[in-house]
Amino acid sequence: MSREKSHAAFTRAKRLMPGGVNSPARVFAAVGGEPIFFQRGEGAYLFDIDGNRYTDYVGSWGPMILGHAHPAVVEAVQAAAGRGTSFGAPTLAENELAELIIDAVPSVEKVRLVNSGTEATMSAVRLARGYTGRPMIVKFAGNYHGHVDSLLVAAGSSAATLGVPNSPGVTEGTTRDTLVLKYNDVDAVESAFAEHGPRIAGVIVEPVAGNMGCVMASLDFCTALRELTERHGALLIFDEVMSGFRVAYGGAQGLFNITPDITTLGKVIGGGLPIGAYGGRTEIMDKLLPAGEVFQAGTLSGNPVATAAGIATLTVLRDTDPYQDLERLSTRLANGLEQAAATAGIPLSIGRCGPMMTFFFSARPVTDWDAATRCDTRRYAQFFWAMIERGIYLPCSQYEALFISTAHSEHDIETTVAAARQAMAEIHKTKTQEVMF
């Protein structure tokens, strides 16, 4: 499979952009080699600039639940762009998208549209602090909430630790009020509230994590978060930027039957265009300017093109309710991969929530960041490239989730499973040869 044009494009890009990319997730650092440059998408498929076709399981990292270039979304975007791309003033489309979100997510009574998931989480944290008058935020290792300074921290242990910045440019001062705990560890949360309860403004958590691979929070963990935040007067923030409208129409909170105080959204609600949102109870959201005093603003927030794509996407999801079919396809893919790995004698553990999953090259289930880091990332890289050569495009990191769309067919799943069988056998053969020599 030739990728000469992609190589030339990447060589040029490195002269123009840091590392040759506009987001580090695209650079293939975790799997080696060079990124593929794409020209177009259609349904479940991507086409690169060398003319190769791939069955796509990245879906622009989640938003493309209807597949690429869905007719309803394309038509809505074209119509909106023809009327003007931005006014910096209210539009009816903002009302319509807000109503769709509020109707779908029971915990949201009012919503504020922004431009990205990072903006949504940043604003939700500010709102939690402004509403409670407290400084401290609890987050969990392996949960990614965008590149917000105060949340771009890692944990040192399973106990509560003060956040240590893990990026140059993020100062200790910006993370001083961030506590980082172990995901799915109820005891750690209880200890944190016992020690810091009166200072904790909120707990932010991904109910379905996607950036240490797909890892679900346990029901006991989510229930404990809800009970502890209520008991101590803190707010519970569900970061559903990735899981919202992806694992279920109302998000993961509907699956858990947990009602957070604030929910952050993104990805699917924009149908592939840049957008984010955060919402919650009226009394909390009315603390925002201009109703209240907590500042947040954005020139392009709720712009007509992004809202048009979001309205079209959510309307199709609401009217067709594809989640049962997505679950069926997802189950078939997971079972097929497990069988392929078992046949090849390769340890594999699959993390999954509906049409969102990760193939962990590990003999044990992954429930937190520590377990994720013990996976065989070298073997994942081998699997990634073996699947690329067979026309299957997977996330370029063991620590990213893959996504199934409504555009994927039974045939796509069967083709992917067949490719995985070949790839697993190839990896096993390579490993055997390495041992022999």
CB atoms within 10 A of CB 97: 27
Instruction: Identify which of 260, 253, 291 has the alpha carbon closest to the alpha carbon of residue 112.
Output: 291
d(CA 182, CA 191): 12
Catalytic residue at 182?
Answer: no
Find residue 164's DSSP bridge partners: 154
Give 176's contacts (C-beta < 8 A, 6+ positions apart).
162, 163
Active-site annotation holder among 56, 267, 278, 412? 267
Query: What is the DSSP annotation of 133-187?
Result: ---EEEEETT----S-GGG-EE-SSSS-EE-EE-STT--HHHHTTEEEE-TT-HH
Instruction: Choose the catalytic residue: 48, 56, 177, 239.
Output: 239
Which of 350, 395, 357, 403 minimizes the C-alpha distance to 375? 350
**Cα separations (Å) of 20 from 15, 221, 361?**
7, 40, 29
Q: Residue 252 and residue 363: Cα distance in Å, rounded?
A: 27
Active-site residue flag, 325: no
Element containing residue 8 per DSSP (H, E):
helix 4-16
Closest CA to 225 of 255, 196, 183: 183
Single out the residue of 219, 190, 193, 222 nearest to residue 205, CA to CA. Answer: 222
Who's near 170: CB < 8 A, 6+ residues apart?
Answer: 149, 152, 153
- The one catalytic residue in 54, 144, 323, 380 is 144
Whether 267 is catalytic is: yes
As annotated, the active-site residues are: 144, 239, 267
